[in-house]
């Protein structure tokens, strides 16, 4: 029986084990360890039906409300591995917490909905959200890899792209996300399906958005203070444009830059975001700053 500690090892081992069969099928038995005869029965049922059976052992902190309960949960890896082997499992996936949650506490989670709030869910708030989140991750982890699977998203919708990346990270979707740079008109307006609703005057006025972003990018490149207020003033000087926000944020968390980083010579990386109503159309745009650019 093979033991995989990382997602990469798990995928490689399952692919190799499956390749020995003409009509392979894969059975996954998720557990939190501390195994007993009931678990052995799960494994035996899987072994009877599938060509390759893997069990996962991971004590999932997300489904424990009380830290003391998580601390005291039994960890018996050696005995668990013996039980799984004698029940006929061919692969064990025993990842670390860092391997399962490399970005720390997942920002994006599965919600168990109303069924997750009654009976056990009523006495253990959040328990089923945590359990479903890790099960989703394990199911993705167990999916035999199809080579070269990628999905492409525009960088113009920066927040959407960040959330999709984060979901794929948090929930182990077996796909690589590729961000494609924003395409702009010759004058700098970010292309959008909504631009067709702009009059000629509004399309001209909208250019102030990319101009303000470029101003911030140039200051960042020269390691000057960003002076976001003056970039906002540039946008506000255009009467056809109603600014919603102009903000500089961390490119991963989208947390606004702390005051000292906004006001002192710029270093590192950040993302400048803008949203505004131009005539009837809400437009968004963004530009990477510093080493994010």
Nearest residue (CB) to ligand PAF, 28 versus 161: 28
**Would you tell me which residues interact with ligand PAF (CB under 6 A)?**
30-32, 60, 63, 131, 134-135
CB 138 to ligand PAF: min, Å = 7
> Distance of CA 287 to CAs 231, 257, 258, 266, 284, Å?
13, 15, 18, 15, 11
CB 112 to ligand PAF: min, Å = 12
Rounded to an integer, what distance in angstroms lies between the CA atom of residue 285 and that of residue 186? 15
Nearest residue (CB) to ligand PAF, 135 versus 177: 135
Rounded to an integer, what distance in angstroms lies between the CA atom of residue 107 and that of residue 253? 9
Nearest residue (CB) to ligand PAF, 96 versus 176: 96
CB 99 to ligand PAF: min, Å = 15
CB 171 within 8 A of CB 136: yes
Catalytic residue from among 36, 39, 127, 223: 39
CB 71 to ligand PAF: min, Å = 16
Nearest residue (CB) to ligand PAF, 134 versus 205: 134
Whether 127 is catalytic is no
List residues with catalytic annotation: 39
């Amino acid at each position: 029986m093979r033991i995989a500690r990382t997602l990469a090892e798990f995928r490689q081992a399952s692919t190799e084990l499956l390749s020995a069969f003409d009509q392979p099928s894969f059975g996954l038995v998720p557990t939190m360890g501390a195994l007993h005869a009931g678990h052995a029965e799960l494994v035996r049922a899987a072994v009877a039906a599938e060509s390759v059976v893997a069990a996962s052992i991971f004590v999932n902190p997300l489904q424990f409300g009380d830290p003391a309960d998580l601390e005291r949960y039994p960890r018996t890896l050696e005995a668990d591995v013996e039980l799984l082997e004698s029940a006929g499992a061919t692969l064990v996936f025993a990842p670390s917490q860092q391997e399962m949650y490399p970005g720390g506490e997942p920002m994006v989670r599965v919600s168990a909905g109303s069924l997750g709030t009654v009976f056990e869910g009523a006495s253990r708030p959040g328990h089923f959200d945590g359990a479903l989140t890790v099960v989703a991750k394990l199911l993705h982890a167990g999916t035999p890899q199809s080579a070269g699977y990628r999905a492409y998203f525009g960088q113009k919708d920066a927040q959407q792209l960040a959330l999709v990346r984060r979901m794929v990270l948090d929930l182990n979707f077996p796909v690589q996300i590729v961000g494609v740079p924003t395409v702009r008109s010759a004058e700098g307006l970010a292309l959008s399906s909504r631009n067709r609703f702009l009059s000629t005057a509004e399309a001209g006025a909208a250019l102030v958005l990319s101009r303000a972003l470029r101003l911030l990018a140039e200051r960042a490149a020269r390691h000057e203070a960003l002076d976001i207020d003056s970039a906002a003033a540039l946008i506000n000087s255009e009467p056809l444009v109603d600014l919603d926000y102009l903000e500089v944020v961390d490119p991963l968390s989208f947390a606004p830059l702390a005051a000292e980083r906004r006001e002192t010579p710029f270093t590192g990386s950040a993302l400048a975001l803008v949203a505004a109503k131009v005539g009837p159309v809400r437009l968004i745009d963004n530009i990477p700053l510093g080493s994010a650019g």
